[in-house]
Amino acid sequence: MRGGNEVLRSVSLGVSHGSVTGLLGPSGCGKTTLMRAIVGVQIVAGGTVTVLGMPAGASALRRRVGYMTQAPSVYGDLTVLENLRYFAAIVGAGPERLAEVLYTVGLTGHERRLTRSLSGGERARVSLASAMLAGPELLVLDEPTVGLDPVLRAELWSTFHALAADGATLLISSHVMDEAAECDALLLMRDGTLLERTTPQQLRDRTGELELGRAFLAVIEEVARSAPG
């Protein structure tokens, strides 16, 4: 339930360690609510959410799970460095880690700029950097690449793969289907239900569509046929 509306129905999913899982679906289908439930800031009306073997939102998880909200949740009236220093102090990350994260998101050299004077994409990267500071085992990223130019988008995706290769688990939402190809596993959502748990290759093979956007449409049609009305 979010804001009094039933958003998610019968969602059941698991995400494997050390992988990049894409959560895909149109705007308003419940991606953000599902992610909020996983990081434990969503009041869940029914059902259980277990993250890294613990109930979602458990205090021991607050160092192990990183969350990046859809709108950049950083202080606009602080510089990039001040934002990161504050969040680093909370999670106990040192200055080396801070510099490393800044480099990863491509903001080295922008430390002294006021966050509100940055472009939308840069602000999103400050938010992403803040979520990465603790070196979390699970990173939940809500549309991290929205509004970014293609070059940066590609760079961030390679960063995500590098993090997964280091053992981190990433759950990344997007409503852009061409990003689906970057993921190891896919969760397709529509109207608060999980349509399918698959991989890009499986989805292409099963639907016979090479382009993932079309493949997603094929899945939706399939569901509509099997459950009329």
Partner 1 sequence: MTAATARRVLWQIRHDPRTIAMLLVVPCLLLVLLRYVFDGRPEVFQSIGAPMCGLFPFIVMFLVTSITMLRERTTGTLERLMTLPLAKLDLLGGYAIAFGLLAAAQAVVVCLVGFGLLGLDAPHGAALVGLLAIANALLGMALGLLVSAFARTEFQAVQFMPALILPQLLLCGLFLARDAMAPLLEGLSWLLPLTYAYDALARATDPAALDSALALDVLVVAAAGFAALALGALTLRRRTA
For partner 1, the closer CB: 4 or 208: 4
Q: Which one among 23, 30, 31, 42 touches partner 1, defined by CB under 8 A?
A: 42
**Dihedral sign computed on CA atoms, order 198, 200, 205, 208:** positive
Q: How far apart are CA 20 and CA 25, in angstroms?
A: 16
Q: Which one among 9, 47, 90, 178 touches partner 1, defined by CB under 8 A?
A: 90
Q: Which one among 50, 73, 119, 158 touches partner 1, defined by CB under 8 A?
A: 73
Task: Give the position of tokens 């009094």.
Answer: 4
State the nearest-atom distance from the C-beta of 7 to partner 1, in Å.
10
Q: Is 228 in the site for partner 1 (CB under 8 A)?
A: no
134-173 mask for partner 1 (x: CB under 8 A)? ----------------------------------------
State the nearest-atom distance from the C-beta of 173 to partner 1, in Å.
15
For partner 1, the closer CB: 107 or 128: 128
Sequence letter at residue 36: R
Q: How far apart are CA 102 and CA 96, in angstroms?
A: 10
State the nearest-atom distance from the C-beta of 167 to partner 1, in Å.
21
Gyration radius (Cα) of the chain, Å = 18
For partner 1, the closer CB: 73 or 119: 73
3-32 mask for partner 1 (x: CB under 8 A)? xx----------------------------
Residues in binding contact with partner 1, number by CB under 8 A: 33
Q: How far apart are CA 17 and CA 185, in angstroms?
A: 11
Q: Which of 56, 61, 57, 8 is closest to 32 using CA atoms?
A: 8
Q: Is 132 in the site for partner 1 (CB under 8 A)?
A: no
Parallel, antiparallel, or unpaired: how do β-strands 138-142 and 169-174 relate? parallel
Which residues, at least 6 apart from 30, have a Cβ–Cβ distance to it below 8 Å? Answer: 7, 8, 11, 189, 191, 192
Phi, psi angles (nearest 5°) of residue 191: 50, 45
- Among the candidate windows 11-19, 65-73, 95-103, 210-218, which touches partner 1 by CB under 8 A? 65-73
Q: Which of 5, 144, 180, 123 is closest to 66 using CA atoms?
A: 144
Q: Which residues bind partner 1 (CB under 8 A)?
A: 1-4, 39-43, 57, 59, 62-63, 65, 67, 69, 71-79, 82, 86-87, 89-91, 114, 130
